[in-house]
Amino acid sequence: AQSVTQLDSHVSVSEGTPVLLRCNYSSSYSPSLFWYVQHPNKGLQLLLKYTSAATLVKGINGFEAEFKKSETSFHLTKPSAHMSDAAEYFCVVSDRGSTSGTYKYIFGTGTRLKVLA
Amino acid sequence: ETGVTQTPRHLVMGMTNKKSLKCEQHLGHNAMYWYKQSAKKPLELMFVYNFKEQTENNSVPSRFSPECPNSSHLFLHLHTLQPEDSALYLCASSLWTGGDETQYFGPGTRLLVL
């Protein structure tokens, strides 16, 4: 069965410094992986997705993630944090094993990113 | 982000009330989802509809009743809720073609049950 582990519930960085949000997954299939961001009182916005093409995926707002099969990881990075990046970030694996005809998302528990001025 | 809209954005209701949440997607998708997001808990999938047919019911109590009249609209009817049902309810949609499982989310309805 698929599962996702976000290794840090909270991460604090100073503005202008790099961001690293860690995600490990478990999947019996070739997984599709996603990162979503949720700003306070908002829905989830897709940052980027990996669907078995290039292992380095570029997303919106300068974020990128690298799929490492050998490490079963899909960590999210950004070279320089901005105050507007403060939000909660969710790593998601898509369950292709669903028999219902739709893909089910398996969510991580989220990482809250705080950006210090 | 206006591809998936939800109304109302905020709702306060008593335990004996009946209310409905509405979701509409403008993306031409054919699958729609209800999720519950409670504080300090992972997002919980509640229901899935594919081509208007319910394909998932994740052991949701019967006080939550979904309705999907067409591929663009999804409702969640609420009755005799409990305080622990207070949460952010998120709707999502996707174009299930057998290949792309990306889900797009609405802004959510913040529900408070008194």
Smallest Cβ–Cβ distance between B90 and the set A43, A102, A108 belongs to A43
pLDDT over 70 (residue A3): yes
pLDDT digits (tens, 9 = 90+) for B48-85: 998 888 888 888 999 999 999 999 999 999 999 999 99
Q: Do A43 and B94 touch (CB under 8 A)?
A: no
pLDDT digits (tens, 9 = 90+) for B10-39: 999 998 889 999 999 999 999 999 999 998
Q: Which residues of A touch B55 (CB under 8 A)?
A: 100-102
Q: Which residues contact B99 (CB under 8 A, 6 or more apart)?
A: none
Q: Which residues of A touch B48 (CB under 8 A)?
A: 100, 102, 104
Name the region of B97 (left: φ>0; alpha: ψ -120 to 50; beta: rest). Answer: alpha
Smallest Cβ–Cβ distance between B102 and the set A46, A107, A109 belongs to A46
HSE-CB for A88 with a 13 A CA cutoff: 19
Contact B32, B64 (CB under 8 A): no
> Could you identify the residue written with the tokens 């599962």?
A3
HSE-CB for A83 with a 13 A CA cutoff: 2
**How confident is the model at residue B55, as a pLDDT?**
80
